[in-house]
Amino acid sequence: MDKAKRNHPYARCRALFLGFLVVCLSYWSVKADDLAGVDLNKGASFIFGDSLVDAGNNNYLPTLSRANIRPNGIDFKASGGNPTGRYTNGRTIGDIVGEMLGQPNFAAPFLASNTTGKAILYGVNYASGGGGILNGTGRIFVNRLSMDIQVDYFNITRKQIDKLLGSSRAKEYLGKTSIFSITIGANDFLNNYMLPVLSIGARITETPEAFINDMISHLRNQLTRLYQLDARKFVVANVGPIGCIPYQKTINQLNQDECVELPNKMAKQYNIQLKGLLTELTQNLPGSTYVYANVYDLVMELITNYDKYGFTTASQACCGNGGQSAGIIPCGPTSSMCDNRSSHVFWDPYHPSEAANLLLAKQLLDGPTKYISPMNLRQLRDL
């Protein structure tokens, strides 16, 4: 073998001890053009969940749950005010958190055709409107991505990252500079266990406690699967005060300052078990960090003291129709819309406005352990 061939990178790889071969081959698999302009130190957000953080995956599904119609997205600057599939007037909490952590691009929807190549290194969004922890949740919408399917999709992304970075570098990138956020569970109550008419059978055969135990068991498996795919830094949101959303207030004909008791009670029961699950996983999965986002108390604070934060109402949907809280018909072209979107805690019958999302995101980023524990997201990023 001549000198030039002996000095070829692949030839040198073959000559090395087997333990170093994988690293060398991984390095060899990286093409400089694939990573041009990508700063891996900025990290990435891999986002799982439901409509609270869906960035447009449902646009690509034959589903009854979609937000790619006006006036959704009217304040989303990146699209020029056009709908993107986000269930709010602007950015989701996931968008805002990524932006404030310095990530240069929003995590793109997994199902979008351009979510390929180096674009996935900025993060990927797997969330789906109507999705839940349990696979049966949201069947009223015909199609949606359950948490199990979302993890399956991340497995595809995981293999793509290996091809881009090589296995060793990919593992470090996912473990040290990426944050995995999970915002899911509300639909398991609203569009499963407590769904009018369709869920009566389930409620007869399964107690609320048994249903919540089932949710926790499934979520344990889902989070463990992500860990096995090299995720290490997690933030998991609890379920918010779903009995206080305009939809619940409207169908139950409540006053402005009232909330439906059963949904909130079940959310709080689930949240207690979720916190224990995250403690358990942190102890049992070496190198993992699970951060608990107390969205329930955060949103309840906004609802209770809305005027303190510059809002004029926490009961009326800005965009919607039907009932005293405009809480029956989802936001669409024929909906009434408030004049000042930043004055409403809720954009539509179910989802916060961008103004509310911004306040929530700031607390998750830099807030106290009352709202985000054992550390906030900026501390998690720097861990």
How far apart CA 65 and CA 129 sit, in angstroms, is: 6
Q: What is the mean pLDDT of residues 275-300?
A: 98
Q: Which one is catalytic: 54, 230, 348, 353?
A: 348
Going 59 to 46 to 98 to 168, the CA torsion angle's sign is negative
pLDDT, residue 155, reads 98
- Residue at 204: amino acid letter: I
Q: Which one is catalytic: 54, 288, 351, 353?
A: 351
Confidence bin at 268 (pLDDT 50/70/90):
very high
What contacts 46, CB < 8 A, 6 or more positions away? 107, 123, 124, 126, 154, 157, 178, 179, 180, 181, 231
How far apart CA 275 and CA 359 sit, in angstroms, is: 23
Looking at per-residue pLDDT, the higher value among 195 and 4 belongs to 195
Q: Which of 141, 179, 212 is nearest to 293 (CA)?
A: 179
Distance from the Cα of residue 380 to its chain's centroid? 16
pLDDT, residue 206, reads 87
pLDDT, residue 41, reads 84
| 82-110 per-position pLDDT tens digit | 999 999 999 999 999 999 999 999 999 99
Q: Where are the alpha helices (DSSP H) in 34-133?
A: 93-100
Q: What is the mean pLDDT of residues 295-309?
A: 98
What contacts 120, CB < 8 A, 6 or more positions away? 108, 157, 160, 161, 164
Number of residues in the chain:
383
Q: What is the mean pLDDT of residues 217-234?
A: 98
The question of whether 351 is a catalytic residue gets the answer yes
Collapse the DSSP code of 195 into the 3-class scheme (helix H, G, I; strand E, B; otherwise coil) and give the result.
coil
pLDDT, residue 30, reads 45
Confidence bin at 34 (pLDDT 50/70/90):
low
Q: Where are the alpha helices (DSSP H) in the chain?
A: 3-6, 9-15, 18-29, 93-100, 147-165, 167-176, 186-188, 200-205, 208-228, 246-251, 261-284, 295-304, 354-366, 377-382
pLDDT, residue 105, reads 92
What percentage of the chain exceeds 90 in pLDDT?
82
Least confident window among 19-28, 70-79, 188-197:
19-28
Q: Which one is catalytic: 51, 128, 181, 325?
A: 51
Confidence bin at 38 (pLDDT 50/70/90):
confident
Q: What is the mean pLDDT of residues 299-323?
A: 96
pLDDT, residue 380, reads 97
pLDDT, residue 366, reads 98
pLDDT, residue 204, reads 67
pLDDT, residue 199, reads 62
